[in-house]
Amino acid sequence: MKSELIEGQASPVGWRERGVRALASLDRNLELFEILFRQSYRKLYLIAFSITGDRELSEDAVQQAFAQAYVKMNQLRDKSKFSAWVTTITVNQAKDLVKSARRHKVIPIADDMPRAGIADSWEQAFLLKDEVAHVLKALSEDEAQILVLRYYADLTMEEIASALNINRSTAYARLRRAKAHFRRTLTIRDESDAVGLGGEINEPG
C-alpha cells in the first residue's frame, strides 16, 4: 500500500485516485498522512496562495490545515472525500490568516505566483505563466479562488460549494462571472500589449 502511494507522488492530482485505497486505514496513521501531505502540498499551496497572495501565509495555511485534519481525521466518515475535506480546511485557514494579518495591519503584498520547483505538470505550468498569474491577481478574491479550485485543484462543483460554504447554484453563478471577467481582463491585457508594441487595434465591425 505504501509503495502505491509513493509511486503517485509525481502527479498532483493522481494522489487522490491512488491514495483512496489507503484512506480507509488512514485514521491517525502518521506515516500515510505524511505521504498524502507531500503529494497534495503543491496543489493546496497554490489554492492558499490564490487567497492570501503571500508565500509565507500560504505555507502556514497548508501546514495548519494538515495539522487540523490530522487531529480531526476520525470525524471524516467517508475517507474517499479526504481531498475535498482538506481543501475546505485549507481555504478556511487561508481566509483566517488573511483576516488576522489585516487586523494586525500586516497586509500581504501579492507577488508573482511561485515558479521554480512547483510546475511538474502542464496544468501547473499553465497556471504559473506570468500572464495568467497577473490576470488572476486582477480579479476579486472570490473570482480568483473559484477559478483555481475548479481548473487547478480539479474539484467538482459540489466540492467547491462545500469548500466555500455556498450552495451549488451560487457556485455555478460565481464561476460563470469569474470566467467572463477573466476573459475580459485577458483581452484588455492583450490589447494593451499590442498598443505598447505599436500594433493596431481594429474595432469590431
* pLDDT tens digit sequence for 122-161: 445 545 555 676 777 788 888 888 888 888 777 889 888 8
Q: What values do phi and psi take at 174, rounded to 5?
A: -65, -40
What's the angle, vertex CA 151, arms to CA 41 and CA 66, rounded to 5? Answer: 25
Q: What values do phi and psi take at 45, rounded to 5?
A: -60, -45
pTM for the model stands at: 0.59
Q: Which of 93, 183, 195, 174 is nearest to 138 (CA)?
A: 183
Q: Which of 154, 126, 156, 164 is nearest to 12 (CA)?
A: 154
User: Which of 41-50, 102-111, 165-174 is least confident?
Assistant: 102-111
